Each structure stands twice: as structure tokens, then as C-alpha cells.
Amino acid sequence: MDVIDFSRNAITTEEELRDIIGAPHDLVMKKTISIIDDHCKKFIEMSPLFFLSTSNADGTCDVSPRGDMPSSITILNKHQLVIPDRPGNRRLDSIKNILSNPHVGLVFLIPGLEDVLRINGRATIINDEKILANMSLKGKPPLLGIGVEVEECFIHCPRALKESNIWNKDTWKNKEELPTLMEIFHAHLKINGVEVKK
């Protein structure tokens, strides 16, 4: 297929968007709070998986899945939380982005629940030994922490997860029909001119 020029029919103003989509209901706008209340705290404590969205100073974006034990995130108070940054592949995509642009978005999931919790705020990479020591896993504290100053916090309707049937095992694809992680990894290395001997 030929490359499409998206600019031909691009929407470029909010006015154009509103002409097509309309305005949100007043209650949808007013559900956003600027604190971690008891309900949000419980949601975060029960979530073993969340997605961290970042972008660098140039606007290049990244979304990183983060899995850990429930209650792995430390909630310091109604305005601040700390995410443990445990050892990984050392790409540091999220961390490097935060260094140049502190704005982050978080989406928290709980297995079997179709609602999600969204948090937006400003992040700082921290190396506070006292805080990190309290976030140890198997006796090892995280190397760093991501401190987040919460600016927006709100529950998101279940439509996306409901329509996707994400928790319905009957809709899950047969893994044997999919390429393995290593097959994809080697194929992508090959695109970049790297051959891996088997």
C-alpha cells in the first residue's frame, strides 16, 4: 500500500473536533480530582499492572508497561506517590524522557476489573535511600524511584476493556498461532542488519 498523506484530511483545531464529536457532559468533566483519595489509594494498592506514559522535550512519546506486586507503589500522601524503578533492560526510555520533560500519565489496571484509574502529573527521578528501602522486593530495594506529583486523578469508564473482552479467556488467541518473543526479537535485529547465530 502506498504511503498515505494524513495531512489531506487532518483535523487541526479544537473547534473542528467539537463540530464532529460535540461537548462532554458536565459530570464527565467534574469527575477529575487533584488528590489521591481513599478510593484511588485502594485502586492503586490492588493494581499489579500499570502503564507509564512519557515524552521527551521534543515531544517524542513512549508508553511502558510496569508490573509488580500489588501495593508496590508507595503513596506518601494525597498528592504524591513513588514508583519503584527496578532493574530491567537498561534502555531507560521512561527515565530519560522524564529528565527532559516531567509530565507523565499513568493507567492502572486490576485483573478482572474493566474500570481503570488514570493519573496525570509531574515526575522526578529520586534516589532517596529511606523511601527506596521501604520498597524492597525479595530483600532488594529498587535502584531508583519515580516520584509523581499528582495533578489529575480520575476513574475511566469500562468501555475499552469491556469491548476488547480482555479478561474473557474464551476470546484469547492460541499462543501457538503467534510468533515467539525470540522470533520477533531476531526478526527485528535482522531488519537492523544484525544476524544472531542459532
pLDDT, tens digit, for every residue of 133-184?
Answer: 999 988 899 999 999 999 999 999 899 999 999 999 999 888 888 898 898 9
pTM of the predicted structure, to 2 decimals = 0.90
What pLDDT was estimated at residue 103? Answer: 98
Q: What is the mean pLDDT of residues 31-40?
A: 96
DSSP secondary structure of 127-166: --HHHHHTT-BTTB--SEEEEEEEEEEEEE-SHHHHHHTT
pLDDT, tens digit, for every residue of 100-122?
Answer: 999 999 999 999 999 999 999 99
- Given the C-alpha cell 521501604, which residue does it identify? 134
Residue-range domain boundaries for the chain? 23-160
What class, spelled out in words, does domain 23-160 have in CATH? mainly beta
CB 52 within 8 A of CB 104: yes
**Angstrom distance (rounded) from CA 8 to CA 170:** 41
What pLDDT was estimated at residue 69? Answer: 87
Task: Provide the Cα torsion 123, 146, 152, 106; round to 10°.
Answer: 120
